[in-house]
Every structure is written in C-alpha cells, then in structure tokens.
Amino acid sequence: MATHLVWFRTDLRLHDNLALAAACRDRQAKVIALFIATPQQWQQHHMAPRQAAFIQTHLNALQSQLALKGIPLIYREVADFSASVDEVKKVCDAHQVSQLFYNYQYEINERQRDARVEKTLDHITCQGFDDSVMLAPGSVMTGNHQMYKVFTPFKNAYLRRLKEGLPECVSAPAAREDELNKLPDITLNYPQDSFDEGLFPADEKSAIARLRHFCQQQAAQYEEKRDFPAIEGTSRLSACLALGVLSPRQCLHRLLTECPQALDGGPGSVWLNELIWREFYRHLMTYHPELCRYKPFITWTDNVAWRSDNGALSAWQQGKTGYPIVDAAMRQLNETGWMHNRLRMIVASFLVKDLLIDWREGERYFMSQLIDGDLAANNGGWQWAASTGTDAAPYFRIFNPTTQGEKFDKEGAFIRHWLPELKAVPGKAIHSPWSWADKEGIELAYPRPVVDHKQARLETLAAYEAARKA
C-alpha cells in the first residue's frame, strides 16, 4: 500500500487545502500528516509569543479534525529549517512514504529548505502547491513578462484573470479509516502569550463562521467603516490567513456569494482589494527575494541617515510618545497582538518620518508582537510607509499624527479606551492633551511629545533628499 505524507506548515486547515486534497485523492493510499516546530528559526524570525499560542491552539484543533478522518498527525520539534530537512527524511523512512505533499511558502529561507528536501528525498515523489494565494506567482505579469512594480496595474491585471476564471476551492477529505483516539496534547517549546478567542477564532469551524458573518454583514460597508478604529469595521481574519486556517480562495468565493459585484467595483470590492494587496506582496517576494533580507526595494533609500535613538524607539514601542493616536495604537498592539490597519500606517509613518528611525526596527518589532505576523505583508506595509518599497507613498508624504487622530478617531473613543490617563481630557482636546492641560493648569500623567512634528518633518525631508542625491 502506498503511503502519502502531508507536511503542514502555514496551512492549518482541512477545507480547501490543496496538498491535503491531493494526498487523499487515492483512496487506496494510507495518509499521514506531519508538523515540525522550529523554535530557534522562529526566534530568528522574531515570531510573536501570541502567534505561537495561536499556532498551538490551531495545531491541536487540526490534530482532532484529522483524527476524525483517520489521519494521524505526527508532531516533531527541531531547532531550525536545516534540521527539519533531516526530520522529514526520518519520518519518510520510518513510514515508508512514497509521496510527499506540501503547500509552497514563498519566503527565501522556506524556499531553500524545500529545495533541500526535494533533493534529499530523491527516491520519493514530492508535490508542491500554490495554496496560500488565489493566483500563483508568475501568473499575473506585465506584457514583457516582468513582475509588476506598482499595485494598481497589478490589481487590474489580477481582476482580469479572475474574471477569466475563478480559482476553485477543494473539499475537505472524506474519512479514510476509523477515527483515532488518545490524542496527545501538542505543546510548543516557545514563549507564549494568551490571545482573546473572542477576537481571533480558535478553530477552523469558527474561522469559517467569522468569514461568513463578515461577508454577509460587513463586507459591503467595509469601505465606509474600515478606517475608524473605534468601530468593528474590519474582518479580523488576518491571523487566520497568516496561519492558513482560511485560504484566500475561501475568502474570495464567500465574498462573491454575498457581494457578486465585487469584481466589478461594486460592494465588497474594497475588501477584495485588500486580498489582492496580500497577493501582490507574496508575488513580489517570490521575484525579489532580497525583500526577505531587510533590503529596500528602492535602493537609494538605503542611503538615508537614520537616527540611532533607543529612548525614542522605546517610547514608540511602549506607547509613550506623547501623541495619543500613536500611543493608543501601540498599546493595542502590545495588549492584543493586533492593530487596526489605518493605525499601522500612522504608527509606521511616525517611527520613520517623525522619529527618523530605520523602518526595519519597526518591521522587527511588529513581527515580535503580531498574532497575524506575515513576512510578505509586514515587509510590504513597512516599506510602503517608509517610501522605500514598490508603490510606496512618496517620501514627502508624511502623516501628521495629530490630524490623523482628529480625522479617524474624531471624538477620541479609541484613544480613551487605550489611554485611561487621558479620560478626563474633554472632547477633541484629546488629540492635543498638553495644549489643553497647560491652559487649564493641569498636570497629566502622560508624557509630553517626544518630538515636534513640524520640525521633524523638515529634518526627514532633508534626510531623504540628501539620500536621493547621494
């Protein structure tokens, strides 16, 4: 009897899992599953303790769901990706595996690991799948067969491809044998922080229900509500997408079921754009692996003379900059492992263009905190904010953190929630609390601004202009 091995990585689900479906297609074959934890590698990649807890929760849920199908999940732990190559071979040898199935990961370390696995397993058929994307890298290219460098033409070409034919979703596999019992709890050897299961679904069924509810109730209003952090206007599905608890194809099909005009710019189209942004960054990383190595896409921006200021960096990390919208956002991140998308842009702009601190410091800190940490999306977002990447904001576009707060948290509801020391500040004074406090003769238990925005803006413009001329 043939034995098929499914190697799970960032695809912790049964439904619409291309590798799992392919492995189960032969009803005569025995199917086993494998997950390899690599704590030292995760540490090098700054994986957040909350993301580790999220992985552990979903791994145990996946093990239970696979067991109902008669598929055992083998759990192994090694130091890093290099050691995982040998571990895959050991498992294959021990179980006389004839075929290995896995879903591609596009980061450079992961691609090198997979290439070594295929070379090492020269006696085994290895099959990889473009599972974490709707359309495979290389399928949406310019007329000259180059990767797009700007999002809007990429999006337009992408939408044309989708209209030609939607990527299909595959069903969860049918049960193969009697269900398995006596499942050991999987415990990751990695620091963990608890996460709020009310905010982040703790199993695949809950994630699918969250997706369905969002597409039915909120996707059509996403454009109007997505920029306001005090209201629940976003899907909060990013953590499930990062771990592959949901596939982007599931998101696409559910969205089009509820919002059939989304491909043509109708209701739901703005959320679809967010899914395409995610694809854009994944495709880019495949063709520009230097993005995985902290390199800017626009090379001259490496000449920017960044400030080395540990005090300012620490104030930003702790949410103590004296700019309320920035501080509230950073405290949300530190407390929950998640941050509203508009706020990610605001705090990134503040770190880079007010404090003139290297964007890579922010990228690393985000990865160390985010439950939805994803290298392609995180790198793409930071390079956009820092004006160093593709389709980046021009370097002279610098967010004013005070007016951003006034625009997107007008009455200060979000700020007051995360900065209780400012609850007594009335009305719109919340956005410039020290101006109000000094006028009233009140001393606040809140830091004064670490930098003057107007002066910082001039210094940042000068630094970028000097780098560009260099």
Catalytic center residues: 274, 277, 306, 341, 359, 382
- Cα 181 from chain centroid (whole Å): 34
Alpha helices in 350-411 (DSSP H): 359-369, 375-386, 401-408
Do 313 and 368 meet the contact criterion of CB atoms below 8 Å apart?
no
3-state helix, strand, coil in the chain (%, to 5): 55, 5, 40
Q: Which of 220, 224, 211 is nearest to 267 (CA)?
A: 220
What is the distance between the alpha carbons of residues 323 and 347, in angstroms, rounded to a whole number?
A: 10
What is the distance between the alpha carbons of residues 355 and 456, in angstroms, rounded to a whole number?
A: 7
Phi, psi of 302 (to 5 degrees): -70, -10
Q: Three-state SS string across 165-179, please?
A: CCCCCCCCCCCCCCC
**Rg (Cα) of the chain, in Å, rounded?**
23
What is the distance between the alpha carbons of residues 44 and 42, in angstroms, rounded to a whole number?
A: 5
What is the distance between the alpha carbons of residues 16 and 247, in angstroms, rounded to a whole number?
A: 7
Provide CB contacts within 8 A for 116, sequence distance 6+.
82, 85
Q: Residue 288 region, left (φ>0) first, then alpha (ψ -120 to 50), else beta? A: beta
Q: Residue 99's CB: how many other CB atoms inside 10 A?
A: 20
Do 328 and 340 meet the contact criterion of CB atoms below 8 Å apart?
no
Q: Which of 49, 369, 47, 54 is nearest to 193 (CA)?
A: 49
Residue type present at position 277: W
What is the distance between the alpha carbons of residues 228 and 328, in angstroms, rounded to a whole number?
A: 13
Provide CB contacts within 8 A for 359, sequence distance 6+.
348, 351, 352, 382, 383, 385, 386, 388
Residue type present at position 451: V
Provide CB contacts within 8 A for 265, sequence distance 6+.
none
